[in-house]
Homo-oligomer: A and B are copies of this chain.
Amino acid sequence: MYARGMPDGNPPPLTPAGFQVALALASGHAHGYGIMAFIAEVTDGAAQLGPGTLYRTLSRLAADGLVEETTDITDGAPHDARRRNYRLTGLGRRAAEREARQLSALLDAASAAGLADTGRAESA
């Protein structure tokens, strides 16, 4: 029995913060501080992921098997012993993909309702 979602089955739903963390990891940011910076940058400061939410979310994701800590050093970075690096597991990736699909459906509806400057397919 795992905390949520079977490792081989369907991934559990992601919280908003969980999705943001997964997105940052998928974008090549491996450690906490980098994740915070990335999210702030992508959303232009609008969505701020504070340390409380961030580290709690990381542990939860790890406990659920969506994320795992890595030991391999990202060479290019000067090796900071304080850093803890993570990567998405297969399950975590599937969870993020699913969440993205759902958000996409909502945004399509938003476009249809005239709430979004349709960067999405509006025609046809």
Chain A interface (Cβ < 8 Å from any Cβ of B): 16, 19-20, 22-23, 26-28, 42-44, 46-47, 93, 96-98, 100-110, 112-117, 119-121
A124, chain B: closest CB distance, angstroms: 12
Choose from B28, B104, B106, B112 the contact partner of A20 (Cβ within 8 Å): B106
Known: A27-B109, A107-B107. A116 touches B102 (CB 8 A): no
Residues from chain B with Cβ under 8 Å of A116 in the complex: 97, 100-101, 104
A105, chain B: closest CB distance, angstroms: 6
A23, B106: Cβ atoms closer than 8 Å: yes
B16, A105: Cβ atoms closer than 8 Å: no
A77, chain B: closest CB distance, angstroms: 19
Choose from B16, B23, B121 the contact partner of A113 (Cβ within 8 Å): B23
A46, B102: Cβ atoms closer than 8 Å: yes
Known: A47-B102, A107-B100. A115 touches B42 (CB 8 A): no
Residues from chain B with Cβ under 8 Å of A97 in the complex: 115-116
A112, B27: Cβ atoms closer than 8 Å: yes
